[in-house]
Amino acid sequence: MSKKIKIAIYSGDIPSTTFIERLIKGLANKGVQIYLFGFIKSKMGYEKNVSIFGYRNTKISKVWHLLKFSVLLFLFKNKDKSKLDKMLKDKSNKPLIARVKYYPVLYYSPDVFHLQWAKGIDEWLWVKEFGIKLVLSLRGAHINYSPLADKRLTNIYKTNFPKVDAFHAVSKAISLEAQKYDAPKEKINVVYSGISLDTFINKYEKQNNVFRIVSIGRPHWKKGYNYALNAIKILKDKNIEFKYVIVGGKKNIELAYQIKDLGLEENITLLNQLAFKDVVNQMQSSDLLLLPSVEEGIANVVLEAMALKTLVVTTDCGGMNEVITNNYNGFLVPIRDPEAIAKTIEYVITLANDDKENIVKNALETINKNHNEQLMVDNMMNIYTKLFS
Amino acid sequence: MKEKKSHINAIGIALSYVPKYSETFFKNKISGLQKSNYRVILFVDYKCLNDYNHKCEVVYAPKRYQNTIKTILSGFSTLVKAFLFNPKKAISLYYLDKQDGISFANRIKNIILNQFYFTKKIDWLHFGFGMNAIKRENVASAIGAKMAVSFRGSDLYITPLKHNNCYDLLFTKAIKYHVLSEEMKQTLIGYQVDKKYIQVITPAINIDFFKSSSAFKPDENLRLTTVARLHWKKGLEYTLEALSILKQQGIDFKFTIIGEGEERERLIFAAHQLGVINNVAFKGQLNHDEVKAHLQHTDIYLQYSIQEGFCNAVLEAQAMGLLCIVSNAEGLPENVINNQTGWVINKRNPMALAKKIMDVYHLPLVEKEAIRKNAIQRVNQKFNLEKQNREFVEFYK
């Protein structure tokens, strides 16, 4: 493309999740013109080439937003507006809300509309009618389990996936999963999540009297914390000394009940969700990060722990085995297997310092090689530019 | 608003909602008490469309508003009503709360919250669940009634995890407690409640409806059923893990889950991931007749719960002569007597469950028959509605 490419990164929320924000920042640093549409949750300081066309969650803001873009479209792109209105009339059951969302996108017509969540695919296919290329990210739950329990969603995927211009898959595993819903293989590009290593400079030596294990993430069932607690019980019964912290696990009744039931109050601390820098501190000061999940795309906390030279034990779910090679740069255990988690933690505790050093060194190398932010941004740019070659 | 004292004893039952038709426990309790010449009055916090008619008086709490101004106005008018029509009761509640060290603001709030209890003359105020009695610890005293509280499972084992120390004040009161099992009685004693105030009245079922059927014909496949809400408490994820072990051993089976709930996605995903999705049917919620029809075609009934007060579904399954395997969660070992009326195994242990299912499946027919017979007999004797009604009448004497 001769002119500068304009890309809309759309998740619905501004700002979005950490990893989507990382992508936005990375692309902006490359000089790409980024458009953000959607609902503004809080003010963000972005680079100059990131333009925000969002609205706040108030009636006044939405009405103003709608009026402004109705007038602009009427004056400058009336033909397109009529075409979209006609499409909406045929399809949408909430045409006003749809217009609030769609009009600014139509008005600014980016070259690429990159939709971050697959569940929204049905709402955004219209952009193709206006020459906008549609890219869809394949992430976690939206692909791995939501369609299993929701036949309507399965049908939406099967109807619409073949029409998408290109897919970004967060792992090879999820790429295979998406193909079950008729995503054409040749249109899927695996781009691993990347992290900026400058943010993860390891400042401290770990100096814990008692072996410290940490898990990070909201207490959703897919995180498999119930299996972790069963593993902790096995370790406790073996009189192994350790401390286990779940960041984000506080106030979850399922966990609280299990901890009380198994008598693990002394060994486990549940913390509230923490700010990013505190999460980093937690990871850095722990001897081991445990990811007991039953489902993941590729868990970013694992990448972050590896960058911070904290040992990782993870279940072999989703794309985790594309990052971790057992006993080389971390440890893989089968899903839903407390015995295996306990056995592996016990093994890690008794590991000689040299061996631990080797593993965290290999882990850091893996991050440098496959999961650095620059690589992610370059690969993502490749997806976009390929659409115009 | 004052009423003449009636010679009939009046029992107020305090609940959040009017019990639905399907809530057999309350339906039966209310009609049982009425048959024994008690006057029953329901005090409920929230009114719903199509509340079931239990043929008893119902007193609703004033409507609660989201809007702050409406809340203040409604609160003020309730407060005026309390002091205008029932000044003695209102003042009494105020001073009783004061003695308990409750702040001035909360004393006023408690009068507003509880004003609707002042409007009836009752002999007993019985809170249907533990959490219904929170912030109402002095209401019965204030209105000159005796107080009783029922604990039914999650209100004893889960609510205190959500709200730390929520029963501290309640447990200092010399009131009567009804619990469903000996295990729950022990838990209350652990909270320093005097055992002489605690009475165990186990749940009961309609044994005329849930009868064993001779129509049952064993099929080639193993047919397993659980009736449970799709909730983590019910241990269904562990059940599915056990079944995946059976499948790996080449056992063909059909597992039916009857019930709806928030964890449907979790369980469907688990069934997929564990490779048993084609052996599992999620039936959703069914009515009594449909549940019964389904149980008639079941070999082994599973209730592998993590937390369970007592569980009527297991009683129903036993009454129908099903072979029941249950976990040792709280009240279940009293519901099923291990090796006599069924089997009790440790919770959260899929391997143990898988092994037990296989053992039971391969049990000689005579032994299966003996267990079925014991189960039917014990449920008929100990868990029938008449017995429960008698015990409740005794409870209020």
- At the topology level, CATH places domain B10-200 in Rossmann fold (3.40.50)
Give me the DSSP letters along A310-321. Answer: -EEEEE--TTGG
Two domains, one topology: B10-200 and B222-382? yes
CB contact under 8 A, B237 and A295: no
- At the topology level, CATH places domain B222-382 in Rossmann fold (3.40.50)
Per-residue pLDDT of chain B (397 residues; tens, 9 = 90+): 444 444 568 999 999 999 988 788 888 889 989 998 999 999 999 998 888 888 899 999 988 888 888 888 988 999 998 899 999 999 999 999 999 999 999 999 999 999 999 999 999 999 999 999 999 999 999 999 999 999 998 899 999 999 989 999 999 999 999 999 999 999 999 999 999 999 999 999 988 998 887 655 555 689 999 999 999 999 999 999 999 999 999 999 999 999 999 999 999 999 999 999 999 999 999 998 999 999 999 999 999 999 999 999 999 999 999 999 999 999 999 999 999 999 999 999 999 999 999 999 999 999 999 999 999 999 999 999 999 999 998 999 8
Nearest CA in chain B to A252: B162
CB contact under 8 A, A336 and B162: no
User: Domain coordinates of chain B in residue numbers?
Assistant: 10-200, 222-382
| A203 burial type by CB count under 10 A (0-12 exposed, 13-18 middle, 19+ buried) | exposed
Give me the DSSP letters along A324-355. Answer: --BTTTBEEE-TT-HHHHHHHHHHHHHS-HHH
Q: How far does A146 lie from chain B, in Å, by closest CA?
A: 7
Contacts 24+ apart (CB under 8 A), A44-48: A44/A14, A44/A15
Quote the ipTM score: 0.91
Nearest CA in chain A to B156: A257
Q: Which domains does chain A have, with CATH numbers?
A: 6-194+373-386 (3.40.50.2000), 197-370 (3.40.50.2000)
Q: Which residue has the tokens 């017509």?
A: A109
CB contact under 8 A, B268 and A148: yes
CB contact under 8 A, B162 and A253: yes
Task: Identify all chain A residues contacting B161, using CB atoms and an 8 Å cutoff.
Answer: 253, 256-257, 260
Q: Enumerate residues 6+ apart whose C-beta is below 8 A from A262.
A: A229, A230, A232, A233
Task: Identify all chain B residues contacting A226, using CB atoms and an 8 Å cutoff.
Answer: 232, 237
3-state secondary structure of B351: helix
Helix A95-108 × helix A59-76 angle, to 10°: 50
Nearest CA in chain B to A145: B269
Phi then psi for residue A363, to 5 deg, are -65, -45
